[in-house]
Copies of this chain bind each other. A is one copy, B any other.
Amino acid sequence: MSPPRLFVDADLAEDLVFDLADGQAHYLGTVLRRAAGDAVALFNGRHGEWEGQIAAIGKGRCRVRLRRRLRAQEAESPLHLVFAPVKRARIDYLVEKATELGVASLTPVATERTVVERINRERLRAHAVEAAEQSERLTVPVLHEPRGLPALLADWPAGRPLFLCDESGAAPGIGTVLAGFAPPPAGAAMLTGPEGGFTDSELDALTKLPFVKPVGLGPRVLRADTAALAALAVFQALAGDWRQARLRRAPAALSPHR
């Protein structure tokens, strides 16, 4: 039985002892039925991944002691997603998939045709945490406050490419644009529009900006969430961390979900 992998806020270092949050204690004790002495894997986005041992577990309480570091913290994949939010089930799925695909941050952006008004950041954060736990990431992507497109573009750092997933059909294919592309240290971002697409005036404004690079996603019309996931996957395969193929998997005894 592989140890569950949990994201925590606490610092992680040898022999530290601390209590897990109520929800995680409930999950370990009541859902997974783990007992004192059982192992867990813990990461906090700062100190790598650690093997811990359950020291005590009871009704909604769980104390763990850290034993040894399994993986050192590593540099984040320098890839970001800026996306016009989509409706409930699709945005949950999008956050999950973008986390698995390795985005460092997610920024919801309001465009002229965006119809989703409220973003439940707490719910989305929970999906990102769960996907990070499952995918063996060492971090949880940052989920930024929603912004308006004009404000976002006005603040955009000039040296950071913003790849516009362009449904107008005029852009060169994403494979052509990204072949051999080396992301700058600050990283690159994918920008996807709402279900209705960007308006002509938004597209005009975007394509005039020197850091905006339009990319095409083929001859079919993709849903907004499909476009985001497809663009992230192609980026990782051609310019991102999929080029170093090796899985950063924890040692076999601790490998979860297999």
Contacts and interface: CB of A to CB of B under 8 A. Distances in A.
A257 B221 contact: yes
A244 B243 CA distance: 24
Given A101-B226, A195-B257, A197-B258, A247 B233 contact: no
A40 to B, nearest CB: 17
Contacts of A231: 233
Contacts of A216: 242, 245-247
B135 A247 contact: no
Contacts of A222: 100-101, 135
B247 A169 contact: yes
A219 interface: yes
The interface residues of chain A, by DSSP majority, are classed as loop
A173 B93 contact: no
A101 B234 CA distance: 13
Interface of A: 89, 93, 96-97, 100-102, 134-137, 167-169, 171-176, 178-179, 195-197, 216-223, 226, 229-231, 233-234, 236-238, 240-249, 257-258
6 contacts: A100-B223, A173-B237, A174-B237, A176-B245, A218-B236, A237-B238
